[in-house]
Chains A and B, each alone.
Chain A
Amino acid sequence: MRARITAQLRGWLILAAAMAVACASGVVFFNMHPREPVYPGPGVTRKAMLSDYAPAFQHSPADTPVYILEGKAPGPTLLVFGGTHPQEVSGMLAAVLLVENVRVERGRVIVIPHSNQSGFTYTEPLEAFPHEFEIPTAAGARRFRLGMRLSNPVHQWPDPDLYSHYPSKEPLIGSEARNLNRAYPGRPGGRYTERLAHAILSLARQENVDVVLDLHEAYPEYPIINMIVAHERAFEIATMTAVSLQARGVPMNIMASPKNLHGLTHREFGDHTQAQALLSETANPAMGRFRGRTDEALVVEGKDENYIAAAKLKRLFVPFDASGHPLSSRVARQIVTVEELLNAWNDANARRPFAIAGLPAYEEIRSQGIGAFLHPAP
């Protein structure tokens, strides 16, 4: 009888401890869901939500702000995506810099900084990624979420054994069913990520977008890096952009979007909308398999001894020395790519040009840091 009471008492204590662990872990997971603030700058004329274009997304975790910067004079429309892959942070931060700094005088710029909001709500288990990183500003630090490449499994589950892309039926590994950049053009009755892709493509159609630029990063051992990938209809402006960047000392190559690789922005926006579609890649050592300690410093400073060694062994597709690939340089690359893309569009479409102001300069971002161009933390 006494042993029974002891076991029961022990059971209650163990259960209480397990519940405490569950609650503490739950708070950590729950804290990944609140959205980080973006402070619209003077150039933002309208803030919409993705659900305005796809009402089924209202109050869903996929719904995400869409910032519209419209000039007084009519002109072409550029649509910029950050956060298609939330782990590729320079794209999201470059999009935030556009929202908080740019003023459009002619034409329109539409920016979605957190394209796959779901991917910002988790990090992959066993990868030891930090949940956040910090950017210092004049009035204190602003913190940003570090997410993952795919939609959170709590929003789309289970993964199929084999993901069959709609409508091409191209087979991919099952987890790619949660990859926004393998889900375009999407479908309104599909899985969560397909519905998200369909909503974003609908936005591009409804707003008569002329140019789409999707901002990405890749690991330094990946061959498609410091690269603009362009749909065949965008190849002229992509080439002009890359040549201008090279002339400014920003190494950039171009690659044609493969016609048999489906679901990506540069392929599907080019095929399914009137837009000229491009995707840019910078090098992020925090994503690679050679990386050492994975912490905020690696995300922000981009320095890693393993990558220096790998570069000496010629295993990388970008130079890598002690200065690393800091986030400020990667964001500067994304911003200068936007600048030169607009210049290329204007050269190719002199009767219908963009005119924008307030775009942070490449050298200024590199020398002063990203925080100098972010709205100070309140």
Chain B
Amino acid sequence: MFIDELMLLGYRGIAAIVALVMALQVLRSGDWREQVYAAMVFVPFALRAFGVK
């Protein structure tokens, strides 16, 4: 495996963590604005985690 492939895998891992944290924030927050903002961040990071964007 090449170094750039490892970096991409690491990036996808980090993106997966961000997406997960945002999903938890949507479920835990009591403020609807925080929930919407977290959902907006969730979408691109979920796509990055799966390597399609």
Contacts and interface: CB of A to CB of B under 8 A. Distances in A.
A14 B34 CA distance: 11
B7 A18 contact: no
Contact of A154 (B2, B43, B52): B52
B29 A157 contact: no
Interface residues of A, number: 28
B26 A15 contact: yes
A10 B51 contact: no
In the complex, the 6 A-B pairs of residues with the closest C-beta atoms, listed nearest first: A18-B39, A29-B52, A7-B30, A11-B27, A22-B46, A15-B26
A21 B43 contact: yes
Contact of A22 (B5, B31, B47): B47
24 contacts: A4-B30, A7-B30, A7-B31, A7-B35, A11-B26, A11-B28, A11-B29, A11-B35, A14-B39, A15-B42, A18-B26, A19-B46, A25-B43, A26-B52, A29-B47, A30-B52, A154-B51, A154-B52, A154-B53, A156-B8, A157-B8, A157-B11, A192-B2, A192-B4
Nearest to A194: B4
A26 B43 CA distance: 10
A157 B4 contact: yes
A25 B2 contact: no
Contacts of A29: 47, 52-53
Interface string A154-189: 111110000000000000000000000000000001
Contacts of A7: 29-32, 35
A15 B43 CA distance: 10
A307 B43 CA distance: 38
Interface of B: 2, 4-5, 7-8, 11, 23, 26-32, 35-36, 39-40, 42-43, 46-47, 50-53
Contacts of A10: 32, 35
A284 to B, nearest CB: 26
Contacts of A154: 8, 51-53
Interface centre among B36, B47, B52 (most CB of A within 10 A): B52
A25 B47 contact: yes
Given A18-B40, A26-B50, A192-B2, 15 more contacts: A10-B32, A11-B28, A12-B27, A14-B26, A15-B39, A18-B26, A18-B39, A22-B46, A154-B8, A154-B52, A156-B8, A157-B7, A158-B7, A189-B2, A191-B4
Contacts of A155: 8
B26 to A, nearest CB: 5
A231 interface: no
Contacts of A30: 52
Nearest to B27: A11
A367 interface: no
A17 B4 contact: no
Contacts of A157: 4, 7-8, 11
B27 A15 contact: yes
A128 interface: no
Interface centre among B7, B35, B39 (most CB of A within 10 A): B39
A14 B43 contact: no
Nearest to A18: B39
A239 B4 CA distance: 42
